[in-house]
């Protein structure tokens, strides 16, 4: 018995863009497009109806843009996996999408094999953008981030981490890969993956992208 195909929702106000992505994705036996939306409001409705595993979300759309739609979808479904589609690398819209809860972003002229790999990666709980790219984006838009740590009235989530897990979080915040983290701390990649998983679980973060953002927001990484 084979696993069910990944369910994908396409959100873009250009029909030809949706058609192109559908053709690429549905050429793969493990990927299935369950719906298409032309704006954010329609996307929210279809997410509730089709319960996709991954959402490809354009940002510049009428009625409701992709950033607001991403924010609302993530609020209603914290486990939602959303990839922002943008025309420009490291632009304000991609930054807004990550801050709203997306698991990554792709350029609209992405190569077919990169699109397919990104969808599978995000569905598996990883991110569709590297930690280094996320860090570069955060540095570019650093003025949009909080300038202080967590509220004093709330428990510090970092306190739940072991010293090693805190080191791992700092390394993720620096944009290091698992291999680079392993080399720094003399750990195998499988051990690093275990630590990363624990960090994400304890801090209730979806993926490495969110971990990089968390590290910046809490002042763990110098800007």
Q: Give the predicted TM-score (pTM) of the model.
A: 0.81
Domain positions in the chain are 6-129, 142-217
For residues 185-197, average pLDDT: 94
pLDDT at 14 over 80: yes
pLDDT tens string 54-63: 999 999 998 8
Question: Which of 116, 126, 103, 128 is closest to 5 using CA atoms?
Answer: 116
Residue 1: the pLDDT is 41
pLDDT, tens only, 126-182: 888 877 788 888 888 877 776 555 454 456 888 899 999 999 999 998 888 899 999
CATH of 142-217, one of 3.30.710.10, 3.90.550.10, 3.40.50.2300, 3.90.1150.10: 3.40.50.2300
Same fold, 6-129 and 142-217: yes
Identify the CATH number of the domain defined by range 6-129: 3.40.50.2300
Residues in Cβ contact with 149 at an 8 Å cutoff, skipping those fewer than 6 apart: 156, 217, 218, 219
> Which residues lie across from 84 on neighbouring strands?
57, 105
> What's the token pair of residue 207?
């993926």
Mean pLDDT to the nearest integer, 15-41: 96
Q: Does residue 2 have a pLDDT over 70?
A: no
For the chain, what is the mean pLDDT?
89
């Amino acid at each position: 018995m084979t696993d069910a195909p990944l369910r994908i929702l396409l959100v873009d106000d250009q029909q030809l863009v949706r058609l192109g992505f559908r053709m690429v994705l549905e050429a793969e036996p493990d990927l299935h497009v369950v719906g298409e939306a032309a704006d954010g409001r329609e996307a929210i409705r279809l997410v509730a109806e089709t319960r996709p595993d991954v959402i490809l979300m354009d940002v510049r759309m009428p009625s409701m843009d992709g950033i607001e739609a991403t924010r609302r979808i993530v609020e209603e479904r914290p486990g939602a996996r959303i990839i922002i589609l943008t025309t420009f690398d490291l632009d304000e819209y991609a930054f807004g999408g990550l801050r709203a809860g997306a698991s990554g972003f792709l350029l609209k002229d992405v190569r077919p094999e990169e699109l397919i790999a990104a969808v599978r990666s995000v569905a598996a709980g990883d991110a569709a953008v590297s930690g280094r790219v996320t860090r570069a984006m955060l540095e570019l838009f650093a003025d949009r981030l909080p300038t202080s740590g967590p509220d004093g009235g709330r428990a510090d989530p970092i306190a739940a981490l072991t010293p090693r897990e805190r080191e791992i979080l700092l390394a993720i915040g620096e944009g290091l890969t698992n291999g680079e983290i392993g080399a720094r701390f003399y750990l195998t990649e499988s051990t690093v993956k275990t630590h990363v998983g624990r960090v994400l679980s304890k801090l209730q973060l979806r993926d490495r992208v969110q971990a990089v953002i968390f590290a910046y927001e809490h002042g763990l990484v110098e800007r």
